[in-house]
Amino acid sequence: MPGLVVVGAQWGDEGKGKVVHWLASQAHLVVRFQGGNNAGHTVVCGGKQFALHTVPSGILADKALSLLGNGVIVNPRALREEVEGLERQGVRVRGRLGISPLCHVILPTHLLLDGRREDAGQGIGTTRKGIGPCYEDKVARCGVRVCDYLDPPLFRELAKSHLRLHAPELARLMPLARARRELFRDYEALRAFLAPFIADASVLVEAALERGRRVLFEGAQGAMLDVDFGTYPFVTSSNSCAGGACVGAGVGPTRIGAVLGVAKAYTTRVGLGPFPTEIEGRVGRFIREKGGEYGTTTGRPRRIGWLDLVQLKAAARINGFSRLALMKLDTLSGIHPLRVCTAYRLRGRRVEGWPCSRRDAFDVEPVYESFQGFSGDLSGARRFSDLPEGARDYVRFVERSLGLEAAVVSVGKDREQTVLRRPGGAAGFWR
């Protein structure tokens, strides 16, 4: 059975957590492949709300084993807090979570560097979790991997070079002796916490696929935050598109069978950067409040925009979506009219594709198609025919424009508040 990749189709926060949690009920393995605790997946399950950051959403499914592939970066202290928090909520994590020894470690100094750059006015509105500085060290070949962190003499040596390398920047923040203390604060306890989780994710994925098991690759962030294809430089520092699953989990492209793109029925983004369909004022505030559009990781209010089909077409291309999950359709109920961006205008000319130039990405003006909208409470809908006609028209328009089936339409936070348009339940998505 080939693997299924689930990725965000916009700027993150599309509702991947809910989709992954539902699919994970049929999966044997759930594998994260990039990002770190900058991610925030909110999952409502059994009347309880869980906020996941590094741990895959699959941990909330009873049977699946969860893995962090080599492309994920791990903050040991934050992971310990997350695991302990989940355990307090009654979720068994130990024995059900494996971490690749090749994952890079987010060190306390990476957080300091991230924060300093944001404060120094060179920022892009990061989550301040040390993501950029950690991936920088990885690519510059001076990072610390989990397997290095678990080897005390080696870690001491690497920590020394790390401090030497970053001394000029760190010294602007604090005396170096203090930065050094930060690096080693609680090290023994954190090492002891991490050690039992080590598992060769790539080998386990291959073994599961060989045995015909269902493997789910869970993306974090979204297509427009991808370091190559997103709104550079206002992006995260990893490949959040579907191709990232291969490199970040150690699996070949021939092993991936399907890619599910997750998009909201409107658009949001947090942090700075271009956002052509952004709306402010009353409608923006209405969507933000009704949709609870505040960051799971940082609590920041999210920027709100109309659905952008130019952006989604680009996402469909770079990810090779097999089908779409359209989330939070219920949030749009009561807005008249609804608008959908179908093209851009740039210096008086019509543009159909996402622009590469950072200046053009700021300058494009959306061309909209208007819809009458719909009203009423959608949260009880379970079949497509339960939705009001205006909502069905909206979904069909998106499908036609993208040439993709919206196989999942979400109408509420709960797992049951879902319209499924594909036979075979969750298992059908692997085909």
Distance of closest approach, residue 72 Cβ to ligand IMP, in angstroms: 13
Q: Which residue is nearest to ligand IMP (CB)?
A: 271
Find out whether the peptide bond into 337 is cis, omega within 30 degrees of 0.
Answer: yes
Query: 267 near 397, Cβ under 8 Å?
Result: no
Task: Identify which of 312, 304, 302, 367 has the alpha carbon closest to the alpha carbon of residue 340.
Answer: 367
Report residue 5: phi and psi, to 5°: -105, 135
Q: Which range in 43-51, 79-87, 200-208, 234-242 contacts ligand IMP by CB under 6 A? A: 234-242
Q: What are the distances in angstroms from CA 99 to CA 71, 140, 408, 423? A: 11, 22, 30, 34
Taking CB under 6 A as the criterion, the residue among 21, 96, 104, 129 binding ligand IMP is 129
**Among residues 220 and 309, whose Cβ is nearest to ligand IMP?**
220
Q: Which range in 125-133, 153-161, 337-345, 374-382 contacts ligand IMP by CB under 6 A? A: 125-133
Find out whether the peptide bond into 108 is cis, omega within 30 degrees of 0.
Answer: no
Task: Identify which of 247, 245, 315, 262 has the alpha carbon closest to the alpha carbon of residue 4.
Answer: 245
Distance of closest approach, residue 269 Cβ to ligand IMP, in angstroms: 7
Number of neighbours of residue 281 by Cβ within 10 angstroms: 8
Residues 88-107 interacting with ligand IMP (rule: CB under 6 A): none
Taking CB under 6 A as the criterion, the residue among 236, 239, 322, 333 binding ligand IMP is 236
Say which of 21, 28, 41, 104 is annotated catalytic.
41
Both tokens of 381, joined, read: 């809908």
Would you count residue 126 as binding ligand IMP (CB under 6 A)?
yes
Taking CB under 6 A as the criterion, the residue among 3, 12, 56, 98 binding ligand IMP is 12
Helix (H, G, I), strand (E, B) or coil at 297: coil
Taking CB under 6 A as the criterion, the residue among 37, 57, 100, 127 binding ligand IMP is 127
Distance of closest approach, residue 222 Cβ to ligand IMP, in angstroms: 7
Taking CB under 6 A as the criterion, the residue among 54, 221, 311, 418 binding ligand IMP is 221
Handedness of CA 392, 397, 400, 406 (dihedral sign): negative
Annotation marks residue 41 as catalytic: yes
What's the number of CA atoms in the CB half-sphere (13 Å) around residue 276? 31
Residues annotated catalytic, as ranges: 13, 41
Binding site for ligand IMP (CB under 6 A): 11-13, 38-40, 124-127, 129, 131-132, 220-221, 225, 234, 236-237, 270-271
